[in-house]
Amino acid sequence: MSEKGHQMYEASLFKDKKLIKTPNLLDLESARKSFSWDKYWQEIETFENGKMNAAHNVIDVHSVGPNRNKVALYFEGDDGKTEKYTFGEMADLSNKFANVLKKLGVRRQDRVFYFLSRSPELYVSFIGTLKVGAIAGTMFPAFGEDALRDRLLDSGAKYLVTEEQLKERVYKVRDQLPELRHIIVVKKGADSSKGEICYETEMEAASSKFTIEKMDPEEYTYMLYTSGTTGKPKGVVHAHGGIVQQYLSSKWVLDLQPDDTYWCTADLGWVTGIVYGLMGPWANGISQVGYGGRFKPEAWYNVIQKYKVTVWYTAPTAIRMLMAAGDEVPKRYDMSSLRYLCSVGEPLNPEGVKWGLKVFGHPFNDTWWQTETGSILITNYPCMPIKFGSMGKLFPGIEGAIVDEEGKPLPQGAEGDLALKPGWPSMMRTIWKNEKRFNEYFRNGWYITGDTATIDKDGYFWYVGRADDVIKTSGERVGPFEVESALVEHPAVAEAGVIGKPDPLRGNIIKAFVMLKPGQKPSDELRETIQTFVKGKLAGHAYPREIEFVDSLPKTRSGKIMRRVLKAKELGLPIGDTSTLERD
C-alpha cells in the first residue's frame, strides 16, 4: 500500500463543529455488537401473516399523516421544466398505474420492463409495478437493439413502457420477442395503429384507489441485467424483503434525516438509481431531486444551489470530471446547503476525497456494493475517520473476509478474494433462468464478489482490483486502481484507465490510457513527466511503461471505466458485450 493510503481525515460529521446534525449512526462498533435484522424488521410495515410489499413502505406509509403533503420528488427535465410531487400524489399516481397494469392483464410476478429517459413517469410506473406484484426491470435509454433484445427475451417481459424517441429501437427486434404483449408509450407518443397504449389516456381514466398486492418477502421486486467479460448479460433478481436493508443503509450510510433534500445522480437503469435514488430514501420519507439533463458542471452545481441539496450521492467519474472543470466553477454557486457527500460505482481515488474537502468543505465518503448485493455492504460512515482511498468498514450484520482460491480466510494484510457470508436481506435471490451461474458466486460457504482486496489492522478494507484486472508484472501483483489513483493526482491528468499488456520480459507491463485536462496537450515530454511522477508515488515496478493519450475512455453508464474494452482493443480481441457502455 502506498503512503497516501495511510493518510486520514480525522474529523467526522459528528465531530465537525461546522455541522450541527448528529449522525443517525453514532457508534459503528457498538451497532455491530448488538445488531439483529429482526430488530429493524420492526420498522418495516407488514400485513397479516408476515406478508408485505416494498412499495407500501416506500410510498404508501408516507401518504397518510404528516408526510402526505411533503415533497417526495423535485424533478428537473433536460428542457429545464421543473415539477414536484408530494408523497400523497406519488401514492395516487402509482395506484393509477397499478390499475392500468391490472386492466392490461398483468399478473403477479409478470415482468414489466422500462425503456425510458429519466422522468417522473419512470418513478411512478416503477412503484406501480411493485404494487401490482409484478417484477420491474429498467434499461438504459442508450441501449441499442441487441441489448434490448437480450434483456426482453431472456426475462420473458410481457409489458414494456417506453417513449416515442426510443420505441423504434424496440420495433427493430419486436418480431424476436414472442412474449411481449403490450407496449405502453408515455408523453402522448402512442401509435394506436400499432396497438400501442397511451400512458396518459389510461392514467386519466384509472382510479387512484388500489388494493396493494400482499407479497411474501421472498417474492421478487425488480431485476437488472449486468454484463461480464464474456457471454450474455445475466439477470440479477431481488426480493421485497430487501427493503429493510435499503431503508436502514440509507439511514445509516447516507445519514438521511427528515429535513434533508437528497440528490442521487444515478440513472434508474442502474442499481444505485433504484436502491438509493428511489426506494431507500423514500422508505425514510426523504425529499429527493431527480435530474433528467446531461452532465455539465454548471448544470449540476445549479441543481445543488436551486434545490438546496444537503446530501449528495454521485460517482467517482463525475467527481473527476468536476475536478477537471476547475475549482473556480463551484465558487460561482451557493454550495452552503451541502452537509454530506458520498460516492459509488468504482473505488474513489484519494485525490477525489481531498478535493471534496478543499472545494465543498466535506469529503466524499466512498461506498462499496454491487448489483448482486442489493445495498451498501462496506463503506465510510459519518461517525468514523476516513482513510484516504479505503473502502471503509463492513455494515452491521455483515460478515466479510479475504479468502484464498479454496475459500479459506487469509490473515490480516493478505491480498485475496473479497468474500461475504450470504444471508443479508438485500442479497440477490437468483440469476434469472440460470441457477448454474448463480451457484458459481459461492465458494466454501462464502459469496465471492469478484473483487480482490486487503483488510488492515483497524478493520478497513482496501480495494486492489477486479480479480481478472490485477496485473502481474516482474513477479509483482499491481492493482490498476492504485496506478490510476496516482495518475489522476498529476495536475495535467483528468482521468486514466490502466491495463496489463503482455510483455516477453516482464510477463506484463502496465499501460495507461490517459485523458488530459482542458488546456493540456499530449507530448513525449509530458508522458515522461507523468511516468516520473507515478514512480515517485508507487513502487518502481508499478508505473506505466506505456502511456497513450486519449480523448475519452470507455465507461459503463454507471461511470465505471471498462478496462476489458481497453484491453480487448489493445490486444485485438473481441470486445464482448457492450450493452452497458456509455454512448454520446
In a domain, 10, yes or no: no
Tell me the whole-structure pTM to 2 decimals.
0.85
- Which whole number is the average pLDDT over 293-322? 94
Cell output for 546: 506505456
In the prediction, which pLDDT does 79 show? 87
Burial of 401 (C-beta count, 10 Å sphere; 0-12/13-18/19+) = middle
**Digit-coded pLDDT (tens) for 28-81:** 999 999 999 999 999 999 999 999 999 999 999 999 989 999 999 999 998 889
In a domain, 435, yes or no: no
- The pLDDT-based confidence of 504 (bands split at 50, 70, 90) is confident
Rounded percentage of the chain residues whose pLDDT exceeds 90: 77
Locate all alpha helices (DSSP H) within 1-119, ordered by sequence: 28-33, 37-41, 54-58, 87-103
- Which whole number is the average pLDDT over 117-142? 96
**Residues 6 or more apart in contact with residue 329 via CB below 8 angstroms:** 297, 298, 301, 322
**Is the Cα dihedral 565, 567, 568, 569 positive or negative?**
positive
14: pLDDT strictly greater than 50? no
In the prediction, which pLDDT does 279 show? 98
In a domain, 57, yes or no: no
8: pLDDT strictly greater than 70? no
**Digit-coded pLDDT (tens) for 395-445:** 999 999 999 999 999 999 999 999 999 999 999 999 999 999 999 999 999
In the prediction, which pLDDT does 582 show? 57
**Digit-coded pLDDT (tens) for 348-373:** 888 899 999 999 999 999 999 999 99
- Which whole number is the average pLDDT over 545-558? 89
- The pLDDT-based confidence of 9 (bands split at 50, 70, 90) is low
**Is the Cα dihedral 149, 153, 155, 160 positive or negative?**
positive
171: pLDDT strictly greater than 90? yes
- The pLDDT-based confidence of 560 (bands split at 50, 70, 90) is confident
- The pLDDT-based confidence of 17 (bands split at 50, 70, 90) is very low
The CA distance from 91 to 127, in Å, is 9
- Which whole number is the average pLDDT over 292-299? 94
Packing angle of the helix pair 316-325, 297-307 (nearest 10 deg): 100
**Digit-coded pLDDT (tens) for 188-205:** 889 999 999 999 999 999
561: pLDDT strictly greater than 80? yes
- The pLDDT-based confidence of 1 (bands split at 50, 70, 90) is very low
Tally of domains within the chain: 1
- Beta pairing partners, 465: 452
- The pLDDT-based confidence of 3 (bands split at 50, 70, 90) is very low
> What do you get for the CA distance between the two ends of the chain, in Å?
36
Q: Give the residue with greater pLDDT, 470 vs 173.
A: 173
In a domain, 483, yes or no: yes
In a domain, 80, yes or no: no
Cell output for 497: 484507465
**Residues 6 or more apart in contact with residue 337 via CB below 8 angstroms:** 261, 304, 305, 308, 309, 310
Residues 341/386, Cβ–Cβ less than 8 Å: no
Residues 106/132, Cβ–Cβ less than 8 Å: yes
In the prediction, which pLDDT does 188 show? 87
Q: What is the 3-state secondary structure (H, E, C) of 151-201?
A: HHHHHCCCEEEEEHHHHHHHHCCHHHCCCCCEEEEECCCCCHHHCCEEHHH
Residue-range definition of the domain harbouring residue 518: 469-571
Residue with cell 473483487: 451
553: pLDDT strictly greater than 60? yes
In a domain, 411, yes or no: no
In a domain, 561, yes or no: yes
pLDDT, mean over the chain: 91
4: pLDDT strictly greater than 50? no
120: pLDDT strictly greater than 60? yes
Burial of 177 (C-beta count, 10 Å sphere; 0-12/13-18/19+) = middle
In the prediction, which pLDDT does 21 show? 83
Query: CATH number, domain at 483?
Result: 3.30.300.30
What SS3 class is residue 265? coil
- The residue count of the chain comes to 584
16: pLDDT strictly greater than 70? no
In a domain, 491, yes or no: yes
528-547: b (≥16 Cβ within 10 Å) or e: eebbebbeebbeebbbbeeb
